[in-house]
Amino acid sequence: MTLFEKIASRQIPADIVYEDDLVIAFRDVGPQAPTHVLVVPKRAIPRIGEAAPSDHAVLGHLLIKAAEVARKLGIDQTGYRLVINNGPDGGESVPHLHVHLLGGRRMDWPPG
């Protein structure tokens, strides 16, 4: 099981802010912004580079729900950033696809 599958199955505690049949969203344990949530498909895809055409629906759902969580947490008007890290140069540390939802402060561009 991946770390995030263990969170989804309640083997590891997390501050869960949204859940449905396909995705779970919980606060990042090492927040990089006042609001930092991970939105994760429950069925593990290692990384976006390994997503298949059959993952089309769940990937769309993931982004729709990330925006819904942003509204729920009150950062939709001020703005936010969605990030997917892929592989070593992308900064990926957990090999279970997830979208970072970051908000509550002004983001820099280009990212570090």
In terms of CB distance, is 45 or 77 closer to ligand AMP?
45
End-to-end CA distance of the chain: give it in Å, rounded. 30
Compute the distance between CA of residue 16 and CA of residue 7 in angstroms, rounded to an integer.
Answer: 9
**CB of residue 96 vs ligand AMP: minimum separation in angstroms?**
8
Compute the distance between CA of residue 3 and CA of residue 102 in angstroms, rounded to an integer.
Answer: 20
Compute the distance between CA of residue 52 and CA of residue 71 in angstroms, rounded to an integer.
Answer: 29
Compute the distance between CA of residue 52 and CA of residue 61 in angstroms, rounded to an integer.
Answer: 15
96 is catalytic: no
**CB of residue 9 vs ligand AMP: minimum separation in angstroms?**
13
Cis bond before residue 110 (omega within 30° of 0) = yes
**CB of residue 21 vs ligand AMP: minimum separation in angstroms?**
21
Residue among 36, 96, 98, 100 flagged as catalytic = 98
Residues in touch with ligand AMP (CB under 6 A): 3, 12, 14, 26, 28-30, 38, 85, 91-94
In terms of CB distance, is 77 or 93 closer to ligand AMP?
93
Give the H or E element holding residue 110: none
Task: Report the catalytic residues.
Answer: 98
